[in-house]
Homo-oligomer: A and B are copies of this chain.
């Protein structure tokens, strides 16, 4: 199987696309697409089912649900309420329904001081926290028969704490014994068109870097001992990725153009890896550490983080009308 040269993405959807554009079926990976025309929400479910699938996709075995909504970056309150409900519905699939007094630790990953990385901390800022109330006054204090105990932490990033985030989380899990972690993180996308309008939910937890295997800094069931659901939104694209995209377009144009057919012939002599090397050489060294983001990122991250925290608030408030409607309870 020929793999195209690879640029990192945190979205399983985009890893899958690498192969689709070559019309290649990937064994051990299934894909399902749904489109809600009225609300313009596209939902893609990628399931990586085998270790082979995981290796090819460079992401662990598990389920990846991606919601794409072009208007997510638009400040329309009613629309955001729709997305929150939809998101709560998908999250509900991953939450056990039978356990009484289910306890969840929400982890807001990222750096509060760097706007495109502040999604996680912002989500935690707007959560309804209940664990301490139930512990202190009993579950009837919440005015509900069956409650969920929500706790949350914003651990900070290693440059701020001097600790691996997983060390902090493991310690807190050991002391407070939640049943599950929901980790929120800002992601890097492969395509600028997904910036700030895509939410990925996965039951594989947080897997830094290549993502496969039991990486020591991963926040997964393997490393922390309880299930980890991860919610992510791509807020940046590497500057190098943007350049690479355009180069690819150029090469395609050269290969197909009448007048440039001569170039096309030459280029065809290169395989994907060689082309990537060529591109890499041409990219300015000054692009390292730079990223591409919309100018209104400050407002956008606030808005989307609010949409996610509302979804979590709906999800955890069992008596909530939305939940009955969506079959969560």
Contact = CB atoms under 8 A, between A and B. Distances in A.
Interface of A: 113-117, 124-125, 129-133, 149-156, 158-164, 167-168, 170-176, 191-193, 195, 236-237, 239, 242-243, 245-247, 249-250, 253-254, 259-260, 262-263, 265-267, 269, 278-279, 281-284, 286-287, 289-299
The interface centre, meaning the residue of A158, A176, A242, A247 with most chain B CB atoms within 10 A of its CB, is A242
| Nearest 3 pairs of A and B residues by beta carbon | A171-B171, A131-B162, A151-B162
Contact of A163 (B125, B151, B195, B242): B151
28 contacts: A113-B125, A114-B296, A114-B297, A125-B160, A129-B161, A130-B162, A132-B158, A132-B159, A133-B162, A149-B162, A151-B162, A151-B163, A153-B163, A171-B173, A171-B174, A171-B176, A192-B239, A192-B284, A193-B286, A195-B290, A236-B295, A242-B243, A243-B243, A245-B284, A250-B278, A253-B278, A262-B266, A263-B267
A286 B115 contact: no
> How many identical chains are in the complex?
4
Interface centre among A116, A162, A192, A267 (most CB of B within 10 A): A162
A132 B160 CA distance: 10
A27 to B, nearest CB: 31
A170 B163 contact: no
Contacts of A293: 290-291, 293
Contacts of A125: 113, 160
A292 B161 contact: no
Nearest to A302: B113
Contacts of A245: 284
B174 A286 contact: no
Given A132-B162, A167-B175, A263-B267, 5 more contacts: A153-B156, A154-B156, A170-B175, A174-B174, A289-B295
Contact of A282 (B176, B239, B249, B296): B249
A80 B159 CA distance: 23
Contacts of A297: 114-115
A5 to B, nearest CB: 15
B132 A153 contact: no
B132 A163 contact: yes
Contacts of A161: 129, 132, 151-153
Nearest to A284: B245
A15 to B, nearest CB: 19
Contacts of A155: 153
Nearest to A245: B284
A253 B298 CA distance: 39
Contacts of A289: 294-295
A303 to B, nearest CB: 13
